[in-house]
């Protein structure tokens, strides 16, 4: 019935949304942020522990749709162990992927590429971005709530 959606809701995405990685609260985190999509009520709280501009560990908690949960889960796997500068590059690559579907030759997206289908569903781009926006805001030392609006 839903062939067109197999691409968006791939098995990896379904798995991550059911059993998100790095889910929970991180005691001793030194940067935190909240994010919210006011239109649909998706929300996230993210806790990072960084040392010398490297993301040593992180956890997140939140509630929302499958795309949001899978994207946030994959994001936490992807940025763990990376430097702040590397995370920034990755965010730009990811942003371009889900808004245009395009990847550069030398991209670092790895597993994040499973979300490429989002670009054909403009209404869902926000869902895939919410976790990232919260993480970027935490890394920039900005604990206030970010929104996708």
Per-residue HEC secondary structure of the chain comes to CCHHHCCCCCHHHHHHHHCCCCECCCCCCCEEEEEEECCCCEEEEEEEEEECCEEEEEEEEEECCHHHHHHHHHHHHHHCCCEHHHHHHHHHHHHHHHHHCCCCCCCCCHHHHHHHHHHHCHHHHHHHHHHHHHHHHHHCCCCCCEECC
In whole angstroms, how close is the CB of 69 to other proteins at the nearest point? 8
Query: Is residue 89 part of the contact set for other proteins (CB under 8 A)?
Result: no
Instruction: State which of residues 106, 123, 141, 149 lies at the interface with other proteins (CB under 8 A).
Output: 123
Query: Is residue 14 part of the contact set for other proteins (CB under 8 A)?
Result: yes
Binding pattern for the stretch 36-75 against other proteins, x by CB under 8 A and - elsewhere = ---xxxxx-------------------xxxxxx-------
Interface ranges with other proteins (CB under 8 A): 1-2, 4-5, 8-9, 14, 39-43, 63-68, 121, 123-124, 127
């Amino acid at each position: 019935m839903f062939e067109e959606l197999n691409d968006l809701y791939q098995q990896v995405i379904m798995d991550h949304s059911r059993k998100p990685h790095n889910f929970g609260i991180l005691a001793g985190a030194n940067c935190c942020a909240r994010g919210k999509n006011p239109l649909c009520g998706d929300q996230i709280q993210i806790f990072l522990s960084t040392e010398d501009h490297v993301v040593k560990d992180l956890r997140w908690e939140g509630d929302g749709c499958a795309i949001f949960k899978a994207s946030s889960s994959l994001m936490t796997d992807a940025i763990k162990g990376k430097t702040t500068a590397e995370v920034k590059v990755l965010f730009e690559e990811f942003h371009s992927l889900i808004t245009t579907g395009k990847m550069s030759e030398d991209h670092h997206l790895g597993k994040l590429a499973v979300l490429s289908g989002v670009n054909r569903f403009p209404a869902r781009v926000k869902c895939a971005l919410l976790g990232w926006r919260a993480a970027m805001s935490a890394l920039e030392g900005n604990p206030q709530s970010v929104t996708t609006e």
